Amino acid sequence: MVWRPTLPTDSTRLDVRKTYKLYIGGAFPRSESGRSYVVSNAKGKFLANASQASRKDARDAVVAARKAFGGWSTRTAYNRGQVLYRIAEVMEGRHEQFSSEVAASEGLSISKARAAVDASIDRWVWYAGWADKLAQVVGSSNPVAGPYFDFSLPEATGVVAVLAPQDSSLLGLTSVIAPAIVSGNTVVAVTSFERPLPAVTLGEVMATSDVPGGVVNLLTGSASEIGPWLASHLDVNAIDLAGILDPEEATALEAASADNLKRVRRPVQEDWTESPGLSRLTQYLELKTVWHPIGL
């Protein structure tokens, strides 16, 4: 049972418990492996059984993300911004649910949990506003020494694998997914192993916010188990190792990513409450430069 703040309730009513599944291709399947694992709160009390994603789920998620990439990356920036803003709108409506899940997962007081949810929603709003501005800040027209019109434009790199932070179950998760998708990338994320519940609710928000299926895929389970499969996957274009705490493990994943020259973001200790800056926004961008003669 998910911990809830003590409110006057009719104590004879039994509540309907929530089921926590994977979010792949816009749908909520269980793991193809049939596995699940116990999720406990910070004090060790049972919260739920979460689906434990397998490498085949990861494989399916990459297929879904690749399928969604063509459509998502060719939408207008304005449209992507609208979708991200809608995610914030729907999250706002589920504020209490998120707050209780974050509080239970991370062992926070309800007021600290609410603050984390506030920050997460505000972060979606911040990123939503970037969609139609990135090209203006990152792109350029270049004054080459010749009669050519020369311009450089950012483009999404493709499918981004994200090993989400282990500690920050919603704000950290938001901070690694939003910057990837706002520019048109699609994401396969392995959530925090011990604190996966807010991620599943975020998946539900996405499913009801006009986010096309496959743009974000959320796999609850072990980043150590799934990570190597994503790192070596030849159809993944970039990988964020934020959720890998062991330096040797991170090094191995980075080495495996080198096979198809994935763009790699190494794990560092991060304060998710700080303003993110441009770093993750530009991490998953390619830059295309075009030349065209100027003449009669």
Partner 1 sequence: MGRFEYAPAPESRAIVDIKSSYGLFINGAFTEATDGKPFKTVSPASEEVLAEVSEAGPADVDKAVRAARRAYEKVWGPMAGRDRAKYLYRIARLIQERSRELAVLESLDNGKPIRESRDVDLPLVAAHFFYYAGWADKLEYAGAGVDPRPLGVAAQVIPWNFPLMMLAWKIAPALAAGNTVILKPAETTPLTALAFAEICQQADLPPGVVNIITGAGRTGQALVEHEGVDKVAFTGSTAVGRAIAKSVAGTDKKVTLELGGKAANIVFEDAPIDQTIEGIVNGIFFNQGHVCCAGSRLLVQESVYDEVLARLKRRMGTLRVGDPLDKNTDIGAINSADQLARIRELSQVGEDEGSERWSPECELPTQGFWFPPTVFTGVSQAHRIAREEIFGPVLSVLTFRTPAEAVEKANNTPFGLSAGVWTEKGSRILWMANQLRAGVVWANTFNRFDPTSPFGGYKESGYGREGGRHGLEAYLAH
Total residues interacting with partner 1, rule: CB under 8 A: 23
Q: What are phi and psi of 65, to 5 degrees?
A: -65, -40
Choose the stretch contacting partner 1; rule: CB under 8 A; options: 15-23, 160-168, 196-204, 288-296: 288-296
Residues 65-84 interacting with partner 1 (rule: CB under 8 A):
77-78, 81-82
Alpha-helix residue ranges (DSSP H) falling in the chain:
55-74, 77-93, 95-106, 110-128, 134-138, 171-181, 197-207, 223-231, 247-257, 279-283
Residue 44 neighbours by CB distance under 10 Å: 6
CA-to-CA dists, residue 189 to 43, 63, 227, angstroms: 26, 13, 10
Question: Shortest gap between Cβ of 193 and partner 1 (angstroms)?
Answer: 32
In the set 5, 56, 74, 149, which binds partner 1 (CB under 8 A)?
A: 149
28 counts as binding partner 1 under rule CB under 8 A: no
Among 5, 29, 93, 129, indicate the residue that binds partner 1 (CB under 8 A). 129
- Between residues 56 and 133, which has the closer beta carbon with respect to partner 1? 133
Comparison of 77 and 207: residue with beta carbon closer to partner 1: 77
Would you count residue 136 as binding partner 1 (CB under 8 A)?
yes
Query: What residues contact 68, with CB distance under 8 A and at least 6 apart?
Result: 25, 186, 212, 213, 214, 215
Work out which of 44, 143, 146, 293 binds partner 1, going by CB under 8 A. 293
145 binds partner 1, rule: CB under 8 A: no
Q: How far apart are CA 156 and CA 281, in angstroms?
A: 10
Task: Convert 82-118 into a string of H (helix), E (strand) and C (coil).
Answer: HHHHHHHHHHHHCHHHHHHHHHHHHCCCHHHHHHHHH
DSSP 25: T
- To the nearest whole angstrom, how small is the minimum distance from the Cβ of residue 276 to partner 1? 11
Shortest Cβ 121–partner 1 spacing (Å) = 10
Q: Is 8 in the site for partner 1 (CB under 8 A)?
A: no
Q: How many CA atoms lie within 13 A of 282 on its CB side?
A: 13
Q: What's the closest the beta carbon of residue 296 comes to partner 1, in angstroms?
A: 5
Q: Judged by CB under 8 A, does residue 46 bind partner 1?
A: no
Tell me if 124 contacts partner 1 by CB under 8 A: no
Residues in the chain, overall count = 296
Task: Locate 25 and state its tokens.
Answer: 């291709």
Q: Which is nearer to partner 1, 29 or 129 (CB)?
A: 129
Query: And the tokens for 189?
Result: 């994320």
Among 1, 27, 278, 287, binds partner 1 (CB under 8 A): 278
56 binds partner 1 (CB under 8 A): no
Does 151 sit near partner 1 (CB under 8 A)? no
The answer to whether residue 122 forms part of the interface with partner 1 (CB under 8 A) is yes
Rounded Cα gap, residues 12 and 10, in angstroms: 6
- Using the 8-state DSSP alphabet, how is residue 16 labeled? P
Sites of contact with partner 1 (CB under 8 A) = 77-78, 81-82, 85, 122, 125-126, 128-133, 136-137, 149, 278, 292-296
